A and B are shown apart, each in its own frame.
Chain A
Amino acid sequence: MSRDRKVLIFGGLALAAFGMFYGLHYALFVEHQTLDQLGGSLATAFVSAAERKLPESRAALDRYAAIRYDYVRQVDVHSHWIGLAMLMIVFGAAFDRVAFSGSIKFWIALALTIGAIVFPLGVILQTVSHGSALASALAILGSGLVIMALAATALGFARQGAPGGA
């Protein structure tokens, strides 16, 4: 088995398992509590407004926005890690059909693997420090790597079908 396929298949399987562990941990220990806090803070904002306690209402609304910011990213990380892992395994199975040299295919596989790890990692780090430039940079770098690797793979598949392709 070529290096690029090993990287994609084993990297994908490991990432899928990790994404599932993360999802299980999140579902057991975080999600229910987060959802309770999310609903509770929004309800508190309305109840405080009904009691004409407007500063408390605004504070609860801010809390709601912060919890929602985290919740969206925590769920996104789970789905993106597993989704990207599946993509890597699928590509690993078909990478022989990418009509590039072995070294180029290896770099494409490596870029996809690094992007698949780093992109969701950057997203989850945004919850540690809201508005963190480093976390956003990681997410952008990771998604850029994934997109470039995808474009290169699509080109490789297209070259295979073209006259003179592999």
Chain B
Amino acid sequence: MATKAVSSPMIAGFPAMSAQRLLVFGGVALIAGGMIFGEIFAVFVLHQNGGKTGEALLAATKAVTAQNPEAVKQAFVSIGGLLEDRGTKVDTHVHMTDAGYLALLLALVQSSVALSAPRKRFLAKLFLLGGTLLPIGIFLIHYVGLAYSPFPVIGWASILADSAGALLIVVLTAEVWGLWRHFRGQPEAVASMSHVGTAAAGCPAERSSADPAPTWEERALLGGGTVLVLLGFLYGAWYAGKNLYEQEARERNILSFMLDAAVKTPDLSGQFVNSYGMLAAERAVQIAAHSHIIEFGLLAMLLSFVQRYVFLNAVWKRRWVVLLLLGSLILPVFVWLELKVGLVAGGIADVGGLLVVIALIGMLAGMLRYSGSVDALRGAQP
């Protein structure tokens, strides 16, 4: 992989251990970590958890038939545990990737945050700490439960997660305060706000003739990302209009039929439990398709801003971009097709997710090479 010379403005824009660099690296690492966690969850937990939930629900209907309220309660304790297990893992995945997105966003506006460099660095570290502890806290909720907790419904893991969330809010508030100071106190400096497509700091905000034209990779990621987000919103609107209320009514009916059957025609209970499971799966894949295509669209747009920090030759940079956009389309489309085509589609969706992870790691490697070369050049300068 050939490399290009690094220009001085770029060196100024990405100093070692700066807030920008911490947020860019930390953000991409959080996104990659969240996606890898999501892949592991999809392959090893999701379907198994759904199967166990179905079994527990069937046990509950059998207990209704046997007129055994205690067994019903036991079955629901089991269902509650399974749902919490699944829910906290989904939330871990979502919050880790979203914290990564926010870190990248903050990196983009760092040059317009009117705070001292050490303070910005401190805020960046706090943000990454919060972004790491929040998903860890959420993940532990299921395992820690209410052990040694002084509260009736909130356990220590929830306290950790909520504290980390509060930390993120504090950092975000401080960053907004810094932005406010920048725009209020230095109006003449507004024009010199970083143009994020050029560099995260030290480059003009408004496009001028001095700005280099957007590269193919930047345009592909920005345009492709916007189209992905648009597709996701159109699908979400279609889902809300066509499926949301229908599925809510169907869930109510299936549960009602399930209980009637458990009381009057026990042989039919299993069918309704299956219908309930199918509804849950239908709902899950439709929502996952909607949220993933939008998240990947946002990710593509965010990555368009850091392409100039990817220190690889044009061919490799294009490969990672194409791989990322391809995976971003494959995953949601095949997640959506999972109920129609079966587990093969699920496998293809997982491959799509893997393509995105590989592209992310490829870009991260390029950014590490960039920062290494910047540091080496800086060290060589008198």
A interface residues with partner B (beta carbon < 8 Å): 1-2, 6, 9-10, 13-14, 16-17, 20-21, 23-24, 27-28, 32-33, 36, 39, 42-43, 45-47, 49-52, 54, 57-58, 61-62, 64-65, 68-69, 72, 79, 82-83, 86-87, 89-90, 93-94, 96-97, 139, 143, 146-147, 150-151, 153-154, 157-158, 160-161
Contacts and interface: CB of A to CB of B under 8 A. Distances in A.
A10 B219 CA distance: 24
B259 to A, nearest CB: 4
Contacts of B165: 20, 23-24, 27
A16 B98 CA distance: 12
A52 B67 contact: yes
B69 A1 contact: no
Given A54-B263, A82-B98, A97-B207, A47 B294 contact: no
Contacts of A16: 102, 172
A69 B162 CA distance: 25
A27 B67 CA distance: 36
A97 B197 contact: yes
B176 A14 contact: yes
Contacts of B268: none
B313 interface: no
A50 B302 contact: no
A41 B226 CA distance: 42
Interface stretch (B45-53, B229-237, B337-345): B229-237
Given A45-B255, A97-B197, A147 B226 contact: no
A93 B259 contact: no
Contacts of B11: none
Given A24-B165, A61-B255, 15 more contacts: A20-B165, A24-B166, A32-B154, A46-B64, A46-B75, A47-B69, A50-B64, A64-B255, A86-B105, A93-B109, A93-B197, A94-B301, A96-B207, A147-B233, A150-B230
B222 A17 contact: no
B193 A1 contact: yes
Given A27-B165, A154-B227, A160-B219, A146 B233 contact: yes
Contacts of A24: 162, 165-166, 169
B109 A161 contact: no
A14 B169 CA distance: 11
Contacts of A87: 229, 298
Contacts of A64: 255
A162 to B, nearest CB: 11
B168 A20 contact: yes
Contact of A89 (B68, B105, B255, B295): B105
A10 B109 CA distance: 11
A33 B223 contact: no
B196 interface: yes
B259 A153 contact: no
A27 B155 CA distance: 12
A151 to B, nearest CB: 6
A98 to B, nearest CB: 10
Contacts of B197: 93-94, 97
B80 interface: yes
- Most chain A CB within 10 A, of B75, B179, B191, B233, is at B233
B329 to A, nearest CB: 15
A2 B165 CA distance: 32
A32 B159 CA distance: 12
B76 A90 contact: no
Nearest to A147: B233
B15 to A, nearest CB: 20
A50 B76 contact: no
B109 A43 contact: no
B331 interface: no
Nearest to A46: B72
Contact of B72 (A2, A47, A90): A47
